[in-house]
Structure 1
Amino acid sequence: MALKAAPETQALLLDLQRLDTLLTQIAHRARTLPERAAVAALKEDAERIKAASTETSGHLEDARIELGRVESDVAVVEKRIARDTERLQASSSVKDIQGLEHELESLRVRLANLEEIELAVMERIELLEAAATGARETLEAHAARLEAAQHELETALATLVAERDHAAADRATVAARIPADLLALYDTQRERYGYGASLLRARVSSASGVTLTGSDLDQVRRAAPDDVILCPDSSAILVRTAESGL
């Protein structure tokens, strides 16, 4: 048996379709919010900035370890110089004195080289400390921008959630006024074809945007006002009103 529904009941499907279209648009807006893209870009940049900061901190730590080794070597050489100097001052052996003087000369050359290396490492540490401070400040500033962007995204999403909830409540109200069999057909057609209901206005189906052919119009004209018929182009329930031009 063909499905039937009063014209005014079928007209409710247009309200339902409008609300479903609105809900689809809201979902699309939620997925494509510019705030979402901004957060994603900032998160990607954050990883890069964090990696650069970590790399700089690693170089700084390596330089500090190197400085510690050089300072340890300097201390060892200084102790040997002090020891040999004492031995030199206390020695009366020409041979021992010559040997100690030669060793002291080598130690002083070694100490000078180490102190030069020590100075270079200290200068490198100073530069790396400045770079690490700058990287940390950059990271903190970027984190603040990311937090602000996330807040903007949350605000935008909250607005869309409110719109969605309002539209969903309106849809539930309209759906409650539609017979179950008609509603089931509407939902089935919408799920399959994208539209559940289509207004026939001036012989044009709103769902497809196509003007009905002569033969299709004849079939529509022959249908009773309470017959539930489908659009030949969109497969949505074709809702006829005074605007249909029949």
Structure 2
Amino acid sequence: MKADPAVQRKLLDLSEVDAELTRLAHRRRTLPEHDELTQAEAAVRQAKDKLVEVETAAGDLDRDIRRIERDVDGVRARTERDNQMLTGAGIGAKQASDLQHELETLARRQSILEDEQLEIMEQREAIGVDVEHSREALAAAEQKLSELAERRDSALADIDAAEAGRRRAREEALPGIPADLLAAYDKRREQRGVGAALLLQRRCQACRLELDRTAISELRGAPADEVVHCEECGVILVRTKESGL
């Protein structure tokens, strides 16, 4: 393939722009915010699960407290009724004895229920503290997630702007490059990641390897308009006065 040396040198400008686009794409993929967001999202899920857990426990205790309150109210109502009957007129000795026995049983039952109620209320108070802490932890996790998402979006916006500028620069670098030369360049760029590189002091600037004497001799004998390649990495080598030939 033949191409004017000046045209070949245009490939260096194109290669520089493509290298910048590659670096930007790599930066987009490897933004630290990606991993940080994954961790923050996991933290939010864990905080939500913990909150559901403690709120469920609090709800169970609230139901137990209401149940005991109903039981205590029932015992008190029964006690009040028995007391009214006991102090009423026309009650026999056996009925009075039965009522007195029932009142003693109700008093023991009320004492047991009130002890149970106190214990559950203490548990509810403790779990209430856990609920507040869990809500605060969830709010903090969601705030961190929001801040990370904002940082990620800002970084991506910067990359988008830089990529748009580099794509415009690429379009500006294309005019004057023959289709066959551009196709050869693009093919090597897809295969190697780099399409063309400067030969500087007998060293390929793509693979950074110094060419051996045989390769240098062949390059030295090749016409200036001959499109040549690095024998090591296969990219198009652009020769200039600094190539050391």
Normalised-by-shorter TM-score class: over 0.9
Matched, 1:115 2:99: no
Residue matched to 2:66 = 68
Q: 1:210 aligns to what?
A: 209
Q: Work out the CA distance in 2 between the residues paired with 1:92 and 1:80.
A: 17
Equivalent position amino acid for 1:202 in 2: Q
The AA in structure 2 aligned to 1:40 is T
Alignment counterpart, residue 47 of structure 1, candidates 39, 45, 48 = 45
In 2, are the aligned partners of 1:193 and 1:236 still within 8 Å (CA)? yes
Structure 2 counterpart of 1:38: 36
* Structural mapping, 1:85-104, within 5 Å: 85-90=83-88, 92-104=91-103
TM-score of the aligned structures, taking structure 2 as reference length:
0.95
- Compute the displacement of 1:237 (Å): 0.7
The one-letter amino acid paired with 1:55 is E
Q: Which amino acid aligns with 2:213?
A: G
Partners of 2:112 and 2:146 in 1: how far apart? 50
AA in 1 matched with 2:76? E
**Matched residues in 1 for 2:162 and 2:173: separation?**
17
Are 1:219 and 2:218 matched, yes or no?
Answer: yes
**Whole-Å separation in 2 of the counterparts to 1:79 and 1:164:** 80
Extract structure 1 runs of 4+ deviating beyond 4 A: none
What residue is the counterpart of 1:131 in the other structure? Answer: 130
**Structure 2 residue matching 1:141: 3-state secondary structure:** helix
Aligned-partner SS, 1:198: strand
Q: Give 1:173 shift.
A: 1.1
CA displacement, residues 176-214 of structure 1 (integer Å, 9 cap, x when unaligned)? 331111101100011112221021111111111111111
Q: Which moved more, 1:104-113 or 1:210-219?
A: 210-219
Alpha-carbon distance in 2 for matches of 1:139, 1:211: 58
Other-structure match for 1:6: 4
Distance 1:120 1:230 in 2: 85
CA distance in 1 between counterparts of 2:169 and 2:176 reads: 11
State the one-letter code of the partner of 2:81: R
Specify the SS of the correspondent of 1:200.
Answer: strand
Tell me how far apart the structure 2 counterparts of residues 170 and 42 of structure 1 sit (CA, whole Å): 37
What is the aligned-residue RMSD (CA, Å)?
1.3
Equivalents in 2 of 1:72, 1:177: separation in Å?
91
Gaps of 5+ in 1: none
Structure-2 residue corresponding to 1:242: 241
Residue range with higher mean Cα deviation, 183-192 or 85-94 = 85-94
Q: Secondary structure at the match of 2:211?
A: coil
Q: What CA distance in whole angstroms lies between the structure 2 residues aligned with 1:155 and 1:195?
A: 29
Bigger drift between 113-122 and 135-144 goes to: 135-144
1:63 CA displacement: 0.6
Where does the alignment leave 5 or more consecutive residues of structure 2 unmatched? none
Paired-residue identity, %: 36
Deviation (angstroms), 1:40? 2.1
SS in 2 for 1:11: helix
Contact (CA 8 Å) 1:5, 1:226: kept in 2 or not?
yes
Aligned counterparts of 1:209 and 1:151: Cα–Cα separation in 2: 40
Q: Is the 8 A contact 1:195 1:234 kept in 2?
A: no
Q: TM-score, normalised by structure 1?
A: 0.95
Kindly state the Cα deviation for residue 11 of structure 1 after the two structures are TM-superposed: 0.7
Deviation at 1:138, TM superposition (A): 2.1
